[in-house]
Amino acid sequence: MRKAIFPGSFDPITLGHEDIIRRGITLFDEIVIAIGVNAEKKYMFTLEERKHFLEDTFKDEPKISIITYEGLTIDLCKKIGANFILRGLRNPADFEFEKAIAHANRRMSKIETVFLLTAAKTSFISSSIVRDVIRHKGQYELLVPDAVRVKK
């Protein structure tokens, strides 16, 4: 069985995340969306809100589950029996950053990282851009799945 983890903070999920996950469904038997918890990081949305956004976005997709975790992603992979880490790439900077992590993960385990390029129409979207648009009361709805709604 081809089981992949798609890790991230998803603060919030964007249309780019959704695109990568939906395209990844065709490659894997199961995708576990793993929301990483980092006590050092300040989030705009609570863990419960982020999990709800993901659950609502993928409610009709039986091949997807959503969990939260702390620690190394490869340790989570071993714990739940995932053989792959799925990641999206928007630009060359993403590639360089993700390549280093993939090499380290491969060195410490047998887990392969699979990269998908983001669609051209979502390649400019990042969670940090979405948070900035929300802070400034802009049209963030154009950048996120319908499940992400913020009281203005």
pLDDT digits (tens, 9 = 90+) for 100-149: 999 999 999 999 999 999 999 999 999 999 999 999 999 999 999 999 98
Left, alpha or beta for 77 (phi > 0: left; psi -120 to 50: alpha)? Answer: alpha
Domain layout of the chain by residue ranges: 3-147
Q: Which of 80, 1, 2 is nearest to 34 (CA)?
A: 80
Active-site positions read 17, 41, 90, 127
23 is known to lie in a ligand binding site: no
Q: What proportion of the chain, given as a percentage, has pLDDT over 90?
A: 91
149 is known to lie in a ligand binding site: no
107 is known to lie in a ligand binding site: no
Q: Which CATH superfamily is domain 3-147 in?
A: HUPs (3.40.50.620)
